[in-house]
Structure 1
Amino acid sequence: MLDIGLNEAGMLAAKQYEGGQTQADGGTVEVVRPAHAPAIAVILPCFNEEAAIGDVVRAFRTVLPTARVYVFDNRSTDDTRAVAAAAGAIVRSEMRQGKGNVVRRMFADVEADVYVLADGDGTYDARMAPRMIEHLTAENLDMIVGTRVAPPGRAFPPGHRFGNHMFNTLVAHVFGREFRDIFSGYRVFSRRFVKSFPAVTNGFDIETEMTVHALELRLPVAEMDTHYAERPAGSTSKLRTFRDGFSILWAMLLLFKQVRPFLLFGAAAAILSLTSIGLAWPILIEFLQTGLVPRIPTAMLSTGMMIVAFLSLACGLILHSVSRSHLEVKRLQYLTLAAPRPR
């Protein structure tokens, strides 16, 4: 198996063309591309998508003939692997259940200069991929998000639209930049984004982590509208609206704690201190008037809350310094990788 990447300066500069053969469950995929062009990998996480994955693989192979198409199967119980291999994909497996686990494995194992991430359910338009790649390389961007555009209906139910808008607004207020569709699974990445992305989440909250990673490092990103279609017959959604919604909200809170710890713990300290002052004020007034402290439990509660407030503030300051150090390390790792080359 030969994976070819152009991330090292001057690599294969003297060759006009380069090629490789990759074994995909019994089939051979031939890739030939000009030596100056970036290596492109299409990566598709899948779980029980036999009804759609064949058409998805063929669509991406048609619009990106020089790209390698990878299907990472996530313990499917149907014929997803066989259908993907028959369509010409390079099929691999990830046994840990969850989209985040699959994306972590894909980003670690696949070598390329440009990565196209999409779902294997046939809802994303493969014809947009060349335009997204062209925009990424021409503008030296690190991520392009394919913003889903679909008429109201089963493709994008009202509940999902509302939740998407709510989380988009929350991300804009917390992390400082508005995305129109932070949950889109159709994205194009540079190599330096992929290889500097920690991927610590396990499930459908992986898109939120990608978005926060880009915002935290202040990476150049863009959005492009793309058609979003209904799933084909026989394909069912793996998203559980309420359970996964709460999971995403929890993941966002953890990311907020990691990225903006002083704001989080500072807000807690402010609430605790104001509550403490509110409880203590009547006691203080009565003490100044009579010299007595009649409500000892309330006074003790007020004192304890003020102590906790100062501890929360101290934790925020310490974690802010730690977060700053982590940010510097991630930024330096990001800068060690080359920017995308124009096609």
Structure 2
Amino acid sequence: MSDHDDVCVLLPTMNEAETVARVVADFRDAGFENLLVIDGGSTDETRSIAREAGARVVEQSGRGKGQAVREAVRDHVRAPYVLMADADATYDASDAAAMLDPLLDGEADHVIGNRFADMRPGAMTRLNRIGNRLINLAFRAIHRESYRDILSGYRAFTRESFLRLHLTADGFGIETEMAVECVKNRVSVAVVPITYRERPGGSATNLHPVRDGGVIFLELYRKAKTNNPLFYFGSAGAAATATGLAMGAFVLYRYLAFGISHEIVAVGAVGATILGIQLLVFGVLADMIHSLHREQIARYERAAGDGSTGRSSADGGDDRAIGTEEVADAGRTTGGQDAGPDDVAGRDGRGG
């Protein structure tokens, strides 16, 4: 029997025939027997190679990594813990124990592997490295948490905590969305240093830096609507206000310098400025409502915790009362006559 029977290793794949067997073998050598490969419709031999290597293989019903992860955890994983990794051999199976430790010790419900802690030469291009840094900075600014590497594909989490997240991303935005949802739902997160290696020769990446980077930035901004409304509405309001003021300055300059009036531009400037101020005010109000909502939820949670403690104390009191009644009942003599406590003690002392 494996030491990790309560862990499912989840490997989303898409044309990973060059590396999937090596990844499956590495995790099996590390003591993991429950390996699930969920494939997004590979056109190479990924599925057959994964089966031969000893993994359970499922073909996802939709497309994209995000949809694959959601479908796998919801429909095909029954283990309480999930260890998710890419099947491109860039992650090290020897880091699995460190990834799982915070979960098994009860310190966190979601673990992110920090690739920047030990990134090997050639593992990430300069463009990707810059993009990753910018995205992490944006995440910290918008969502006010620092997870160091929110785009890491090496994750460990409890299945229960994953099902609490409201995830909709279908592509590579799934990692970003998971990080945002952890903040929103106050899921405890631990960050663990891991090794990140260069993709083996012959395997091609499915990531498109510009396209997928744009999707990730949009996902960060979209999720700010419910997690940081002041930033979401305030940034749009600031942009509209700045545009309106710039247009107004242009109209004023043209009128004062050349005597030329731009009525249409002036109307647009006033409209943009008013819209921007309204968005700023709405952002402030939405942020106040969001803060009150969080405080209310915290109150409910504290009340629920105090209620559980109170019930435990009450149950203990009832047990003690029941115990007292039993002692009193034991004090009654046989034959229907009641005996006092001293008589009971006396008979006990004489051995009955």
Same fold (TM over 0.5): yes
User: Which residue does 1:248 correspond to in 2?
Assistant: 216
* Counterpart residue type for residue 60 of structure 1: F
* Equivalent pair of 2:120/2:195 in contact (CA under 8 Å): no
* Counterpart residue type for residue 14 of structure 2: F
Whole-angstrom CA distance in 2 between matches of 1:330 and 1:51: 49
For the pair 1:170 / 2:138, whether they are aligned, the reply is yes
* Equivalent pair of 1:70/1:89 in contact (CA under 8 Å): yes
Structure 2: segments with no counterpart, 5+ residues:
253-260, 301-352
User: Which residue does 1:28 correspond to in 2?
Assistant: none
Whole-angstrom CA distance in 1 between matches of 2:232 and 2:168: 21
Q: Which has the higher contact order (CA 8 A, sep 6+)?
A: 1
Query: Alpha carbons of 1:326 and 1:196: their partners in 2 closer, same or farther (altered >3 Å)?
Result: farther
Give 1:43 deviation, angstroms: 0.5
Whole-angstrom CA distance in 2 between matches of 1:296 and 1:266: 28
Give 1:279 deviation, angstroms: 7.0
User: Which residue does 1:204 correspond to in 2?
Assistant: 172
Give 1:165 deviation, angstroms: 1.1
Please, what is the CA RMSD of the aligned residues?
Answer: 3.4
Query: Alpha carbons of 1:78 and 1:310: their partners in 2 closer, same or farther (altered >3 Å)?
Result: same
Alignment of structure 1 residues 119-268 onto 2, 5 Å: 119-148=86-115, 149-153=118-122, 155-268=123-236
Give 1:126 deviation, angstroms: 0.7
Alignment of structure 1 residues 21-100 onto 2, 5 Å: 32=1, 39-65=6-32, 67-100=33-66
* Equivalent pair of 1:38/1:114 in contact (CA under 8 Å): no
Name the count of aligned residue pairs.
290
Whole-angstrom CA distance in 2 between matches of 1:330 and 1:44: 35
Whole-angstrom CA distance in 2 between matches of 1:68 and 1:113: 12
Scaled by the length of structure 2, the TM-score of the pair is 0.71
Whole-angstrom CA distance in 2 between matches of 1:62 and 1:305: 62
Query: Alpha carbons of 1:156 and 1:281: their partners in 2 closer, same or farther (altered >3 Å)?
Result: closer
For the pair 1:111 / 2:78, whether they are aligned, the reply is yes
1:208-242 deviations in Å (ceiling 9; x for gaps): 11111112223221111111122223211111111
User: If each structure's helix is expressed as a fraction of its own residues, which one has the higher value?
Assistant: 2
* Counterpart residue type for residue 249 of structure 1: F
Give 1:176 deviation, angstroms: 0.7
Give 1:323 deviation, angstroms: 6.8
Identity score, percent = 33
Whole-angstrom CA distance in 1 between matches of 2:81 and 2:95: 15
1:252-283 deviations in Å (ceiling 9; x for gaps): 22122332223321343355456657877999
Whole-angstrom CA distance in 2 between matches of 1:81 and 1:96: 16
Whole-angstrom CA distance in 2 between matches of 1:58 and 1:296: 72
For the pair shown, the structure with the greater C-alpha radius of gyration is: 2
Give 1:146 deviation, angstroms: 1.1
Q: What SS does structure 2 have at the residue aligned with 1:230?
A: coil
Whole-angstrom CA distance in 2 between matches of 1:78 and 1:323: 48
Scaled by the length of structure 1, the TM-score of the pair is 0.73
Whole-angstrom CA distance in 2 between matches of 1:242 and 1:279: 32
Q: What SS does structure 2 have at the residue aligned with 1:309?
A: helix
Whole-angstrom CA distance in 2 between matches of 1:330 and 1:112: 30
Whole-angstrom CA distance in 1 between matches of 2:296 and 2:94: 37
Give 1:202 deviation, angstroms: 1.2
* Equivalent pair of 1:59/1:126 in contact (CA under 8 Å): yes
1:147-197 deviations in Å (ceiling 9; x for gaps): 1122332x2222211111111111111111222211110010012221112
Q: What SS does structure 2 have at the residue aligned with 1:243?
A: helix
1:101-140 deviations in Å (ceiling 9; x for gaps): 1112112112221100001111111111122212222143
* Equivalent pair of 2:248/2:266 in contact (CA under 8 Å): yes
